Structure 1
């Protein structure tokens, strides 16, 4: 799997959220540079787990829809005389 990359805007939003979290929950100030390092760390170390879970969930939805499609197709069958 290739490295996870985010747009500048996405990363800026994440940095803001991390800084707010540190301030609100931990009463600590964290700089943007440190927040970006945390994002990179989480993306590298935890990102694959979240990605794999997303793939698993998508596969479950796909399988459910495929099963539904199978029932719809069966309903289209015509009786043979």
Structure 2
């Protein structure tokens, strides 16, 4: 099951970008179907890597936020006369 699901409008806009890129960089003219097919292939190939990278980034961010919370709670501690 794909992680990323584009709306029809998004997929058409991205396919148009693929068409332009292939035309500009490789002098290859792709039709709408070919561009969408290529887009789907590329997304399927890179999706797990991008997802895992984003997940790793979120994990690091959560760790930092937890460390910040720990510091904030430590600053709230009061000294005791005991």
- Output the CA distance in 2 between the equivalents of 1:71 and 1:48: 34
Alignment length (residue pairs): 80
Matched, 1:57 2:57: yes
| Shift >4 Å, 4+ stretches | none
How large is the RMSD of aligned CA atoms in angstroms? Answer: 1.2
Q: Which has the larger radius of gyration?
A: 2
Q: Which segments of 5 or more consecutive residues in structure 1 lack a partner in the other structure?
A: none
Aligned match of 1:73: 73
Shift of 1:58: 1.1
Question: What do the CA deviations read for 1:41-75 (whole angstroms, capped 9, x no partner)?
Answer: 12222211111111111111111111111101111
Whole-angstrom CA distance in 2 between matches of 1:16 and 1:69:
46
Please say which of residues 54-63 and 39-48 is displaced more in the overlay: 39-48
After TM superposition, the score normalised by the length of structure 1 is 0.88
TM-score when scaled to structure 2? 0.87
